[in-house]
Chains A and B, each alone.
Chain A
Amino acid sequence: MRTWAFLLGGLVIWAVHFFTLYIMASVFLTPPLARTLTMLITLACLGAIAFLAFKARRIEIETATDSWVRAVALLGMGVGGVAIVWQALPALLV
């Protein structure tokens, strides 16, 4: 499970962020409130990714599989992070 949590962590957080924003946008339609909430949620998710990345960097490397898992996990967190930032842009620009 730990391995899967690392491999998919960044993307799972992206998904959580996305659906939270989607539900939020559907419930509160007033831009200022939505904007503030978006900022908060986004920061929280980015923080979670950073925490996960910190943990992932410290995976014990014994086999080739371990280093492979670490590389994919870190990259996944990077992609997740970029996607989260993009996901937040609409709330700030629209």
Chain B
Amino acid sequence: MEALIAITIGVLVATSVYLMLARNVLRFIFGLVLISNAANLIIFASGRLTVGAPPLIPVGADGPVGDVANALPQALVLTAIVIGFGLFAFALVLMFRAYSTLGTLYSDDMRIAEPRTEDKT
């Protein structure tokens, strides 16, 4: 099953890279969401997969009963998801602001900080 996840991650990465390379920065944002998911899945899969046994300790026991899923990657992924959300929110607001300030979402037209040399006087 890990192999299948690996392929899924490959697809996610490929589509997100394609999206990030687009002219429209909104697509970059979409690509960012996808690739964050891919990175989270990489961490999740690296901790190996266990079906149907959440890492919880039943009342009365001192440790989990039977084989449970690897808890550490789950904690890392949780952290990464929240961080990813923070980054996403900022990036989205940035693009939003870029449109209202620069009047475009096309990155080719965003040349204020680095004007073309021929534009210089």
Q: Do A and B bind each other?
A: no
The residues of A with any CB-CB pair to B shorter than 8 Å are: none
Q: Which residues of B contact A (CB under 8 A)?
A: none
